[in-house]
Amino acid sequence: MVILPQGLPEASGIKSSKITTVDKYTANKDFLRVLFLNLMPEKQASERYSAFSLAESETDVLLVPIKIRGQQYKTTPQAHMDLFYKDFECVKGEEWDGLIITGAPLENIDFEEVRYWKQLQEIMDWADCNIRSTFFICWAAQAALYHRYGIPKHMSSRKKFGVYAFENRNLSHPLLSECLNIIHIPISRHTEVKEKDFITDDSPEILCAGVGGVAIAADTNNRDVYVTGHLEYPIERLDFEYHRDLGKNLPITKPANYYINDDEESGIDFSWKDDSKRIYNNWIEHFLKDK
């Protein structure tokens, strides 16, 4: 079950027996306590996606949204952020089990040019010493690999958009427990990280890779997880992005390996559903709970 802050609009709108709310997030020490640094433009949708991703676990997880102090928000009401998101400085002195950092539409910008890069570096460094495990998503995974290991991102010749199949390189790894030889992950990005850059002895282990580059990696001590796609995406998300960009006359192709028989009228193949459920559950059970 996932526990969210009382009053969070997305929580009240979710009809699920596996998601509930709590008034004071410090009230129960039996929860696994996970911070949620939400960098996505559509904050409320991202809240919902991550809540559902964690909800399948039998372990109770308290998810606390946090933000970088001083940021102004254009796509989410500032009042929502001020009411439901804690400044990082207000929570860093407490004990936390996990941290999730989402993606952000910043892949065309050098990391050092991101306006909150220094603050993000501070949070990543703090997590190294204070968090059992961090789950980095999409751009955040690229940012963390660059900050920690000097692994660069590379521009792709065209946007990778769709559901990509990646080879499972380590069937016995705890993050991939019960996963099959091929893992499906939604991808929506112009950049990738490449295997050739994982060259030092302390580089993370590549767990999944394919034509979309490195998809999943984990630190060799099984501390942190880097997922360069969006396992948290619900079934309809890529369809929404596709038609959103079409409506804006942006260059976009039909999402690959997404519609059944590549036909919108035939419906969507939710091929990543089981992989997402297993990987998030494994992260909770083996990276947070067991440590």
Q: What is the pLDDT of residues 16-58, one digit of tens each?
A: 667 777 666 554 567 899 999 999 999 999 999 999 999 988 8
Catalytic residue check, 147: no
Catalytic residue among 10, 138, 173, 179: 138
Q: Alpha-carbon distance 100 to 172, whole Å?
A: 24
Cα 144 vs. chain centroid, distance in angstroms? 12
pLDDT of 15 above 90: no
Binding positions for substrate: 159, 188, 244
Residue 14 reports pLDDT greater than 70: no
Compute the mean pLDDT over every residue in the chain, rounded to the nearest whole number: 92
Dump pLDDT digits (tens) for 214-243.
999 999 887 899 999 999 999 999 999 999
Residue 167: is its pLDDT beyond 60? Answer: yes
Which residues make up each annotated binding site?
159, 188, 244
Residue owning tokens 């969006």? 230
CA 111 to chain centre: 18
pLDDT in tens, 54-79: 998 889 999 999 999 988 888 899 99
Residues 179, 181, 186, CA angle at the centre, nearest 5°?
70
**Residue 291: pLDDT over 90:** no
Q: What is the pLDDT of residue 98?
A: 97
- For residue 74, what pLDDT is reported? 86
Query: How far is it, in rounded angstroms, from Cα 86 to Cα 252?
Result: 36
Share of the chain above pLDDT 70, in %: 93
Rounded Cα–Cα distance for residues 85 and 8 (Å): 10
pLDDT confidence of 13, banded at 50, 70, 90? low
How many CB atoms within 10 Å of residue 247?
9
pTM: 0.95
Domain boundaries, the chain: 2-155+190-229+271-289
Task: Identify whether 56 is a catalytic site residue.
Answer: no
User: Which among 47, 107, 192, 232 is annotated as catalytic?
Assistant: 232
Grade residue 5 by pLDDT with cuts at 50, 70 and 90.
confident
Q: Which pLDDT value is given to residue 129?
A: 93
Q: Which residues contact 109 (CB under 8 A, 6 or more apart)?
A: none
Assigned superfamily of 2-155+190-229+271-289:
Class I glutamine amidotransferase (GATase) domain (3.40.50.880)
Coil, helix or strand at residue 25: coil
* 263 or 7, higher pLDDT: 263
Please tell me the predicted confidence (pLDDT) of residue 6.
Answer: 80
Mean pLDDT of 277-283: 97
| 232 in active site | yes
Look up residue 23 and give its DSSP letter.
Answer: S
Query: Which of 162, 85, 88 lies closest to 118, judged by CA?
Result: 88
Q: Are 99 and 67 in contact (CB under 8 A)?
A: no
Q: Is the predicted pLDDT of residue 10 greater than 70, yes or no? A: no
Query: Both tokens of residue 37?
Result: 């640094």
Asked if 137 and 177 count as a contact pair (C-beta separation under 8 A), the reply is no
Tokens linked to 99: 């941290």
The pLDDT confidence band at residue 198, using thresholds 50, 70 and 90, is: very high
